[in-house]
Homo-oligomer: A and B are copies of this chain.
Amino acid sequence: MDAPIGVFDSGIGGLTVAKEIMRQLPGESLVYFGDTARVPYGSKSKKTVCKYSRQIAKFLLTQKVKAIVIACNTASALAMEELEEMVDVPVIDVVQPGARMAAASTRNNKIGILGTRSTIKSGIYERYLHKINPELTVVSKACPLFVPLVEEGLFEDRITEDVVGRYLHDMKEYEIDALVLGCTHYPLLRGVIGREMGEDVKLVNPAYETAKTLKDMLKENELLASGQNKGEHKFFVSDGVEQFLSFANSILPYSVEQTTVIDIESY
């Protein structure tokens, strides 16, 4: 089925999920929406994040998408159920695939979760993990400085090492052996996080698991693109900030030349 897949995020972070989908499903076309006018979602309430997610889903449906991927941990945590009820196409979130992978990876049943304030406060990872295995110990920590550090480009820096050391202190105390990077920006800090935690701790990147889940779902529902062509992608944003294009071009495997600004508040 040659309709595109809708992918959305509060801003640019979800491009890491889009990239993984393009890699695992090169024949699929994507319609990406980044809510650059209202970014970030991580410090906002459930009510507001649900409202924003509904507006975005309405917009994506005007693009005739065959499935929607919520490429944002906060929106996955707060708006997944509501979107599933609202739309007729399958919805994939980033939280459940990450939780499944973490549960499958741990050997000592101790899992760590890093995320934004809203994701951590929602308790969503704990809920999914305990549904899989009630015996799991889950240690979670909000890391509000990680996104601005990534956006300042401080991937490898003494300041980042200090901040990571501070946030991960509890994780080390509890001797977790699987750690979910529960925000799309965090995999960009995996170098520093990996060194801090040591090589015995498996770092889970939900972007990779999400693309895999999407692929399985499309197969199962006979929704895979039929042709042998490469997918064609469109990018929409709610605010025309330069940062979006430069980030897109720094991480995606091909050159993004155009983004279209839409008035998301009118949906």
Contact = CB atoms under 8 A, between A and B. Distances in A.
Interface string A222-255: 0000000000000000111101000000000000
A159 B44 CA distance: 25
Nearest to A121: B242
A259 to B, nearest CB: 12
Nearest to A240: B45
Contact of A240 (B39, B47, B144): B47
Given A144-B152, A148-B145, A152-B144, A43 B243 contact: yes
B162 A241 contact: no
Interface string A18-59: 000000000000000000111100011101100000000000
Nearest to A142: B152
Nearest to A147: B148
Interface in A163-212: 163, 166
A224 to B, nearest CB: 37
A45 B45 CA distance: 24
Interface residues of A, number: 27
A156 interface: no
A240 B43 CA distance: 11
A151 interface: yes
B159 A151 contact: no
Contacts of A131: none
A265 interface: yes
A43 B240 CA distance: 11
A265 to B, nearest CB: 5
A42 to B, nearest CB: 11
Given A37-B48, A43-B241, A151 B158 contact: no
Contacts of A241: 43-45
A149 interface: yes
Contacts of A265: 265
11 contacts: A37-B38, A37-B48, A43-B243, A45-B239, A45-B241, A47-B239, A48-B239, A145-B145, A145-B152, A147-B148, A159-B162
